[in-house]
Amino acid sequence: MRQRSQRGNALVALALALVAGPSTTVRAAIFDDAASAITLPSGDLTTEATNIRKVLEAYVHAVEAKDVQMFRAVKPNLSDEEEKRARMAFKSIQTQVVKMNVLVLEVKDGKATVKVSRRDTINGSIVSSFPQTFQLAKEPAGWTIQDIGR
Amino acid sequence: MTRRILGTLAFALLVSAPAARADDKLALLIPHLYGPTGLVVDSEARLPDGSTHSAHFNSAFQAEFTQFNVAIASQLTGLPIPTPASGFTYTLDPGLGLFTRSTKSFGPILSDRADTVGRHKLSLGVHYQRFTFDKIEGVDLGDVPAVFTHDNPALGGRDDVVTTSNAIDASVGQFTTYLNFGVTSWLDAAVAVPLVSTDLTVRSTATVQRIGTSANPAIHFFRDANGAIGNTRSFESTGSASGIGDVILRLKARVASLGPLAIGLGVDSRTPTGDEMNLLGAGAWGVKPFLVLSATSRTLSPHATVGYEWNGESTLAGDPVAGTKAKLPDQITYSGGVAVAVTGNLTLAADVIGRRIIDGRRLVPKTFTSLDGRTTFPDISFVVTSENEVSGAVGFKFNPRGRLLIDANLLFSLNDHGLRDTLTPLIGLEYGF
Average pLDDT for B234-256: 91
In DSSP notation, B157-209 reads: GGG-EEEEEEEEEEEEEEEEEEEEEESSSSEEEEEEEEEEEEEEEEEEEEEEE
Chain B environment of A115 (Cβ under 8 Å): none
- What is d(CA B22, CA A33) in angstroms, rounded to the nearest whole number? 67
B262, B305 contact by CB (below 8 A): no
Whether A23 maps to a domain, the answer reads yes
CB B423 within 8 A of CB B412: yes
Q: What is the pLDDT of residues B268-285, one digit of tens each?
A: 999 999 998 898 988 999
Indicate the average pLDDT of chain B: 81
Q: Are B426 and B395 in contact (CB under 8 A)?
A: yes
Q: Is B88–A123 a contact, with Cβ atoms under 8 angstroms apart?
A: yes
Residue A36 lies in a domain: yes
Given a cut of 80, whether residue B6 has pLDDT beyond it is no
Q: Looking at the predicted structure, is the pLDDT value of residue A5 above 60?
A: no
What is the C-alpha separation between B157 and B48, in angstroms, rounded?
14
Give the pLDDT mean for B29-58: 63
**What pLDDT, on a 0 to 100 scale, did the predictor assign at position A32?**
38
Look at residue A17 and tell me if it is in a domain: yes
Rounded to whole angstroms, the Cα distance separating B347 from A68 reads 27
- pLDDT, residue B31, reads 75
Q: What is the structure's pLDDT at B290?
A: 96
Average of pLDDT values for A107-128?
83
For residue A95, the distance in angstroms to the closest alpha carbon of chain B comes to 9
pLDDT at A90 exceeding the cut of 60: yes
Cβ(B153)–Cβ(B371) below 8 Å: yes
For residue A119, is it within any domain?
Answer: yes
pLDDT at B107 over 60: yes
Q: Do A89 and B344 touch (CB under 8 A)?
A: no
Q: Tell me, yes or no, whether A65 lies in a domain.
A: yes
Nearest CB to A130: which of B92, B93, B402?
A: B92
CATH number at residue A32: 3.10.450.50
B403: which chain A residues are within 8 Å (Cβ-Cβ)? 123-125
> Does B100 lie at the interface with A, CB-CB under 8 angstroms?
yes
Please give the DSSP secondary-structure letter assigned to residue A37: S
A45, A105 in Cβ contact below 8 A? yes
Q: Is B322 helix (H, G, I), strand (E, B) or coil?
A: coil
Residue B347 pLDDT level (bands cut at 50, 70, 90):
very high
Check whether B341 has a pLDDT greater than 90. no
Torsion of CA B111, B260, B123, B107, to 10 degrees: -40
Write the DSSP assignment of B251-320 as a string of letters: EEEEEEEETTEEEEEEEEEE---S-GGGTSS-SS-EEEEEEEEEE--SSEEEEEEEEEEEE-EEEEEEET
- Mean pLDDT computed over B289-303: 88
Contact (CB<8Å) B95/A148: yes
Per the structure, how many domains does chain A have? Answer: 1
**A76 lies in some domain:** yes
Around Cβ B417, how many Cβ atoms within 10 Å? Answer: 23
Which candidate, A60, A15, A21, A62, places its Cα nearest to that of A41? A15
* Partner residue facing A120 (CB), from B94, B96, B99: B99
* Confidence at residue A87, expressed as pLDDT on a 0 to 100 scale: 93
Residue B22 pLDDT > 50, yes or no? no
Model pTM above 0.80: no
Q: Do A92 and B94 touch (CB under 8 A)?
A: no
Helix, strand, coil percent values for chain B (each to nearest 5): 10, 55, 35
B384 contacts: CB under 8 Å, gap ≥ 6:
B359, B360, B361, B362
Residue A11 has pLDDT above 50, yes or no: no
pLDDT of residue B431: 86
**Residue B420 reports pLDDT greater than 70:** yes
Query: Chain B partners of A59 at a C-beta cutoff of 8 Å?
Result: 97
Residue A1 lies in a domain: no
CB contact at 8 A, B202 and B237: yes
Higher-confidence residue: A70 or B110?
A70
Does B88 sit within 8 Å of A148, measured CB to CB?
no
**Percent residues over pLDDT 90 in chain A:** 39
Kindly report the nearest CA distance between residue A149 and chain B, in angstroms.
Answer: 6
Closest to B54 (Cα-Cα) out of B73, B40, B70: B40
The domain containing residue A142 runs over which residues? 6-149
Which range is least confidently modeled, B106-120, B144-158, B179-193, B199-213?
B144-158
pLDDT at B2: 43
CA distance A18 to A48: 8
| Higher pLDDT pick, B242 / B65 | B242
List pLDDT tens digits, range B367-414.
988 888 888 999 888 888 899 999 999 999 998 887 788 999 999 999
At B175-191, the pLDDT tens digits run 999 899 988 878 999 99
A44, part of any domain: yes
This complex has an ipTM of: 0.76
Does B94 contact A150 at a Cβ distance shorter than 8 Å? yes
Rounded to a whole number of angstroms, the distance from the CA of A105 to the nearest CA of chain B is 18
